[in-house]
Amino acid sequence: MASSSSLSRLSNLRRHLDPSKTSDNNKGVGLIKVSPEVSEALSNGGPVVALESTIISHGMPYPKNLETAKEVEAIVRGKGAVPATIAILDGIPCVGLSVVELERLANLGTQAQKTARRDIAHVVASKGNGATTVSATMLIASMVGISVFVTGGIGGVHRHGENTMDISSDLTELGRTPVAVISAGVKSILDIPRTLEYLETQGVCVAAYKTNEFPAFFTRTSGCKVPCRVDTAEECARLIDANMKLGLGTGILIAVPIPQEHEASGSLIDSDKNITGNAETPFLLARVNELTGGASLSSNIALVKNNALVGAEIAVALSHLSD
């Protein structure tokens, strides 16, 4: 017999997929296309890991982007979870992409619009193609009931952000959307202390995995301590479970340091500080890749794969809590 928690999930998913049964908090989910694999996993209370799509379209060149996307999904499956890459195709938000859809997105590359929360309505209304950033991926994942999301790194407060107000929407999304984000921290080109201060203001629990220090994407350390340390996937799952049961309504950021053998030079990565807005991440990744002779691309791929491994283990542990 199905447990009460499994039945609750099934009821929630039915509401997600039937616009006539959605609450005010779930309006719009009837517009979302959920793949059969993801839908079945959610209905059965199985582990699902959301994956963003901007890294495919804007994070690396073709065909490396397609190869990496497939490998990341394989890592998630290898740990017993279901990958749910999220993107908007022909105006339809999609949760879980087929191989054909992944190939299409990879080929589109930067022709797909980089889509944050603010852009979703426009991309849908214009029947466009959108590669979702952290904020958009979190929102869509939450709408269909996915609690764990893996990405490379999140945005943050830009340097001199106290004057420019250049603050990533990733941070405000973490403050209002109850999804756990597994990332390698934020890039050292950003203002990490102010980023952490802003997350505190938003009420976001920031935890570091197997370390007391917040990682800085390409580097394992930033000089900033975290208020919460978690050492196992089970500890992460209990943290997420408590956050959901308390109904806090905020996300959780679990920062996973890049594997030591792929760590890069922080001083080199800090070399370009004058790019702002949503052009910053693609520019930074391309520029650093150029300066390092391609080594940073390998590091970027390595940290994403490592995050996928950790995130899948967390999703599996979280599903066991509800058995």
Cβ atoms of residues 218 and 288 within 8 Å = yes
Tell me the C-alpha to C-alpha distance, in Å, between residue 276 and each of 96, 253, 284. Answer: 31, 23, 10
Report the distance separating Cα 161 and Cα 210, nearest Å: 30
Q: Which two tokens stand for residue 314?
A: 């967390």
Q: Which two tokens stand for residue 18?
A: 């039937």
The single-letter DSSP state of residue 60 is S
Q: How crowded is residue 223: how many other Cβ atoms within 10 Å of its Cβ?
A: 10
Active site residues: 52, 187
4 phi and psi, to 5 degrees?
A: -60, -35
Question: Residue 223 in 3-state DSSP?
Answer: coil
CA distance 72 to 1: 34
Q: Is 131 helix (H, G, I), strand (E, B) or coil?
A: strand
**CB-based contacts of 74-77 (< 8 A; 24+ apart in sequence):** 75/305, 75/308, 75/309, 75/312, 76/49, 76/51, 76/150, 76/308, 76/311, 76/312
Contact 213, 223 (CB under 8 A): yes
DSSP 163-199: HH--B-HHHHHHHHS--EEEE-B--TTS-HHHHHHHH
Could you report how far apart the first and last alpha carbons of the chain are, in Å?
Answer: 12
